[in-house]
Amino acid sequence: DTAVSQTPKYLVTQMGNDKSIKCEQNLGHDTMYWYKQDSKKFLKIMFSYNNKELIINETVPNRFSPKSPDKAHLNLHINSLELGDSAVYFCASSQRLDNEQFFGPGTRLTVL
C-alpha cells in the first residue's frame, strides 16, 4: 500500500564511506525527486528526474549521484561521505512536472 517508500530508514556510517539510499513509488508517476532536510528542518531540493531523465540538479556536490533505472525508482548514491552530509533525505514523486508531490518517510543519514 505504501505510495513512496525509502530504504533504509536509518543509516549510520563513517566518514569516507560510500552509501546508497533507494526510493520506489507505486503511484505510476513520471517524476521523482530527492530533497535534503538539514538539522534545522530546512528542506531543499537536490535532484529531479522525469521519465528517467535528469531535469533538476541543484548544484549538489558531484559526490552525490542519482540513478533512475526505471520510472518507479530513483536511487541516491553518495561517495566519500562527509560530516555535513548528515541529514534526512526525502524522496518524492509527482504525476507530472507540475503536479503535487508525494513524499516518502525519509532516510536519516548520520555520518560519524
Residues in touch with another protein (CB under 8 A): 4, 31, 35, 40-45, 48, 55-56, 58, 90, 92, 94, 97-106
Q: How far is the CB of 16 from another protein (least distance, A)?
A: 28
Q: Residue 34 or residue 78: which is nearer to another protein going by CB?
A: 34
Q: What is the dihedral of CA 6, 72, 2, 23, to 10 degrees?
A: 0
| Nearest-approach distance from CB 31 to another protein, in angstroms | 7
Smallest gap from residue 102 Cβ to another protein (A): 7
The smaller minimum CB distance to another protein, of residues 15 and 55, is found at: 55
CB of 15 or CB of 97, closer to another protein: 97
C-alpha cell of residue 55: 531535469
The answer to whether 23 touches 6, Cβ cutoff 8 Å, is yes
Using CA atoms, how far residue 43 sits from 11, 12, 27, 50, 90, in Å, is 19, 21, 23, 20, 9
